[in-house]
Amino acid sequence: MQDDILTILDNVLTAVRPTQGERDELAELSRRVCGYIREEGVRCEVVGSGARKTWISGAHDLDLFIMLSADLTREELETEGLRVAKLVADRADSYETRYAEHPYIHARFADYRVDLVPCYQIASPEEMRSAVDRTPFHNQYVLPRISGLEDEVLLLKQFMKCAHVYGSELRVRGFSGFLCELLIIHYGLFLAVLEAACNWRDGLLIEPGVTTSQRARQGAQHSPSGGVWEPLSVIDPTDPNRNVAAALSLDQFYTFVDVARGFLAEPSIEYFFAKPLMPVRKSEIIAATDARGTDLLAISFEIPDMVEDIAYPQLYKLRQSAIGLLDENDFTVLGSAIGIRSASKTTDTVMLLIELESGRLPALRKHVGPPAYMRAHAERFKSKFTNNDTFSNVYIENGQYMVDIHRRYTSAKHLLESELHSCALGKQMREHIRAGYGVAEGKEIADIFDMEFLKGYFTDKIGVK
């Protein structure tokens, strides 16, 4: 069995370990681009997986930090940083300016994607002035400790990629590359991380290289997040108040736990390289929906192209609002899926799919009133519903006043069409929702969503297995 696993891991490494040629090429490109920066009299630091030799073969990403004086104002940092970055980018094949906490440049040199990120050069993380200033310190922490463990990091990243839990971006809410490295530093080996994960429970606290312990579920005084419950807290070695795993969702945490158990129980290369999914045809989707007997609702609209990490939180919020609205109105939500697809150069299509036990409810709704012993409440309740347009008189059931009234929405489609725009929504989503949106149901859904998206929901949930 161990042999089996080791053979599998060897095969994985053969596929994902960058070749010497790749390493040389990346090193050569780093040297060259850093040279352009230094020409401007500015220090340059190579960070991320490129610096640590922990990138997956074929992932041609390079992160270069332009280290500027801490004496600059924030505005000067942006101006000077962009000036240097642009001088470098002018020698690239193409580039664009992107905006996170402050602007940076994303450039292309041959088939490499190079991020040129201005930051303050500071002496210690306590002096941090912009969110990216911490990154060089991460690099300094990881570099000496990861040496000799690069293969272990590669295995963990590839394993997580295949389980769709790799990446801390808000679309994924999984494990970042830095988090992978910290887990390897902490546990020593890829298989040791997996062995440990089999018994993980949410509320886990890891101080890399020091302790692993279970936090109490109540009272989050030990949580770096200061109160918000996070399934996993991994203390940032450069900042004890920061949780490196803050972006990780509960379900992604347990998905990793689950695949770790699965792989150790029955090792297979498929935990690293998924079998390609068969394409799904529209007729199959329709047949699967019919067999389930459930009702599907879909909301889809176009928004101007947005940064993923801004669009996704708003889409989560939209989904939460839609589900909340349906819950409050007694519709039973069985599942949902979201997605954003590029629709054109400048616009994206937002997709929200909701599956309901039923999209229809009877006109009659049982309305629960106060306990019968509460005299004053009872009087108010009775006077409110007497001579009202109800299905019943006020009656007593199990010691409580009740009345059968008319339900406001008997159709989930109509409910979402009428009320979704007035729910809590992100800024951009709200604007586009207010401008108008349609709700599709039943077979229409196969017309408005691409099969790729529906396949995603149906593969996990509808068992087109």
Name the site residues for a second copy (rule: CB under 8 A): 198-202, 231, 250-251, 254-255, 257-258, 261, 265, 291-295, 334-335, 357-358, 361-364, 366, 372-373, 375, 378-379, 390-393, 395-399, 404, 410, 460-463, 465
Nearer to a second copy, 185 or 462 (CB): 462
Tell me phi and psi for residue 205, to 5 degrees.
-120, 120
> 330, exposed or middle or buried, with CB in 10 Å at 0-12, 13-18, 19+?
middle
Can you tell me the distance from the alpha carbon of 319 to that of 289, in angstroms, rounded to the nearest whole number?
21
Q: Cβ 156 to a second copy, closest distance in Å?
A: 20
Tally the C-alpha atoms within 13 A of residue 358's C-alpha that lie toward its C-beta. 6
Nearest CB to a second copy, comparing residues 226 and 399 = 399
- Closer to a second copy by Cβ: residue 123 or 265: 265
What's the longest Cα–Cα distance across the chain? 86
Kindly tell me which of 210 and 396 has the beta carbon lying closer to a second copy: 396
Q: Which is nearer to a second copy, 36 or 263 (CB)?
A: 263
Shortest distance, position 356 Cβ to a second copy, whole Å: 9
**Closest separation in Å from C-beta 390 to a second copy:** 6
Cβ proximity of 365 and 380 under 8 Å: no
Q: What H or E segment, with its residue span, contains residue 330?
A: none
Of 72 and 372, the one with the shorter C-beta distance to a second copy is 372
* Nearer to a second copy among residue 399 and residue 436 (C-beta): 399
What is the number of residues in the chain? 465
CA distance 228 to 241: 13
Q: Which is nearer to a second copy, 254 or 273 (CB)?
A: 254
- Residue 153 C-beta: closest distance to a second copy, Å: 25
Supply the minimum distance, in Å, between the C-beta of residue 100 and a second copy. Answer: 31
Number of H helices, E strands in the chain: 16, 16
Taking the complex as a whole, the smallest distance from the CB of residue 130 to a second copy amounts, in Å, to 35
Closest approach, Cβ 224 to a second copy, in A, equals 21
Integer Cα distance of 450 and 49 in angstroms: 34
DSSP letter (8 states) at residue 295: E
Of 194, 315, 179, give the one whose Cα is nearest residue 247: 179
Torsion of CA 269, 184, 193, 253, to 10 degrees: -90
Min separation Cβ 289 and a second copy, Å: 10
Q: How far is the CB of 307 from a second copy (least distance, A)?
A: 28
**DSSP-assigned states of every residue in 54-107:** -PPTT--EEEEEEEEETTS-HHHHHHHHHHHHHHHHTTSSEEEEEESSSEEEEE
Pairing between β-strand 333-342 and β-strand 239-243 as defined by DSSP bridges: unpaired
Nearest by Cα to 197 from 145, 156, 149: 156
Comparing CB distances to a second copy, the nearer of 16 and 206 is 206
Q: Provide the 8-state DSSP code for 318.
A: H
> For residues 76 and 72, what is the distance between their CA atoms, to the nearest angstrom?
6
**Closest distance to a second copy from the beta carbon of 463 (Å):** 5
Q: Give 141 or 401: the residue with its C-beta nearer to a second copy.
A: 401
